[in-house]
Amino acid sequence: MNKIDIVKKIVMENKKVPLDKVGEAFMPTNIALCKYWGKRDVELNLPVTASLSIALPKKGTDTKIKLLDSEEDADIIYLNEKKVNKSHVFYKRISEFLNLFRVNNKSFHVDTVSNIPVAAGLASSASGFAALVGALNDLFDWRLTLDKQSVLARLGSGSAARSFWSGFVFLNKGIKSDGMDCFAESIECNWKELKIGLLMLDNSEKYISSRKAMNISVDTCPFYKVWPETVDSAIEKTFKAIESKDFTLLGETAEKNAMAMHSIMLSSYPAIDYSIDKTHLERKKVWELRKNGVEVYFTQDAGPNIKLLFLEKDFEKVKEAFPEMEEIDLFFSMN
């Protein structure tokens, strides 16, 4: 089964689109509290485990797309108002993804604006591929449900499947070989007191893509076999925590899961280490703060940056310890 087969299952026919029509979508980025790390199908980005995330509603990607005249021989891609060179990895990823949706071999003009640093472990590819699918859906007037769009976005990046909703989102791992049951869904909960603080320690591009890195972990980490049960148990606890608004359970589970993922990375070969010195210092500050009675936890993805989890009542104390932190409103409507 390849990606084209999946697209054909979802997008039955493409209606004729006028050249001046622009498709547009904004999608928020998401931070996994129970991480996806490892694929059961590398081609279709099917995960070994389910995952669970929270959206950062105002952080994300806005993408506009239109068809180009047939004389144009290649896609034209703009990122944050700058034309992206064809040799750039960003261009290649987008253009290869667009190959799945070409009509009469026509090229696309893509204009994408992201208010998060690209490829710095802040899930820019999640909102990026989700917004691209949303924009294509708009351009071709497919009128796909969000679970179908979630399946399509997953073909670009696993975490993108979770970027169509605000609030908490659960990505089913699915069991089907075509991945049609591997899509995300929103978890109903409005937890206004819950806050995330972003600690941007370094926004340069990651030295190894999460795509490559997770394959290395699956192939070489001697502890990878405990990862699926670790995530299953974290997901169960996180669901309980969300249901009962139990912040201690939510924070502890998220931090443990992030540390377990980074331990898997460190014990892969070659070892994968996304942390920098500042990452270690900031984690220790979190532990110190907790010892002193301030309930704050962290999570970390495929990059050195830290995301703090805390409750609104502790905002002043957390801000005092981390003055450079950017506070994110989580429960806020996207529309």
Helix (H) or strand (E) holding 10, with range, is helix 3-10
The reply to whether 275 sits near ligand PMV by the rule CB under 6 A is no
Residue 186 Cβ, how far from ligand PMV at the closest point, in Å? 16
Which member of 116, 144, 302, 328 binds ligand PMV (CB under 6 A)? 302
- The answer to whether 36 touches 169, Cβ cutoff 8 Å, is no
Taking alpha carbons only, the member of 263, 175, 228, 229 closest to residue 38 is 228
The reply to whether 150 sits near ligand PMV by the rule CB under 6 A is no
Residues binding ligand PMV: number (CB under 6 A): 14
DSSP letters, 208-224, are: S-HHHHHHHHHHH-TTG
Residue 216 Cβ, how far from ligand PMV at the closest point, in Å? 13
How far apart, in whole angstroms, are the C-alpha atoms of residue 49 and residue 37? 8
Six-digit token string for 265: 């990375």
Stretch that binds ligand PMV, among 31-39, 141-149, 310-318, 323-331 (CB under 6 A): 31-39
317: left (phi over 0), alpha (psi -120 to 50) or beta: alpha
The reply to whether 210 sits near ligand PMV by the rule CB under 6 A is yes
SS3 (DSSP) at 88: coil
The reply to whether 49 sits near ligand PMV by the rule CB under 6 A is no
Stretch that binds ligand PMV, among 3-11, 20-28, 130-138, 157-165 (CB under 6 A): 157-165
Residue 24 Cβ, how far from ligand PMV at the closest point, in Å? 23
The reply to whether 168 sits near ligand PMV by the rule CB under 6 A is no
CA distances from 37 to 32, 50, 63, 210 (A): 11, 10, 27, 8
Taking alpha carbons only, the member of 132, 145, 141 closest to residue 99 is 132
Residue 307 Cβ, how far from ligand PMV at the closest point, in Å? 11
* Type of residue at 57: P
270 cis-preceded (ω within 30 degrees of 0)? yes
* Bridge partners (DSSP) listed for residue 63: 25, 112
How far apart, in whole angstroms, are the C-alpha atoms of residue 222 and residue 79? 39
Q: Which is nearer to ligand PMV, 282 or 301 (CB)?
A: 301
Stretch that binds ligand PMV, among 1-9, 154-162, 183-191, 227-235 (CB under 6 A): 154-162
Which member of 158, 174, 179, 304 binds ligand PMV (CB under 6 A)? 158
For residue 72, report the phi and psi dihedrals to the nearest 5 degrees. -65, 130
Q: HSE-up of 130 (CA within 13 Å, CB side)?
A: 30
The reply to whether 159 sits near ligand PMV by the rule CB under 6 A is yes
Six-digit token string for 41: 């199908």
Residue 50 Cβ, how far from ligand PMV at the closest point, in Å? 10
The reply to whether 211 sits near ligand PMV by the rule CB under 6 A is yes
Residues in region 104-123 near ligand PMV by CB under 6 A: 123
Q: Which is nearer to ligand PMV, 67 or 152 (CB)?
A: 152
Mark 226-265 with x for binding to ligand PMV (rule: CB under 6 A) and - for no binding.
----------------------------------------
Residues at the interface with ligand PMV (CB under 6 A) = 32, 35-37, 51, 123, 125, 157-159, 210-211, 301-302
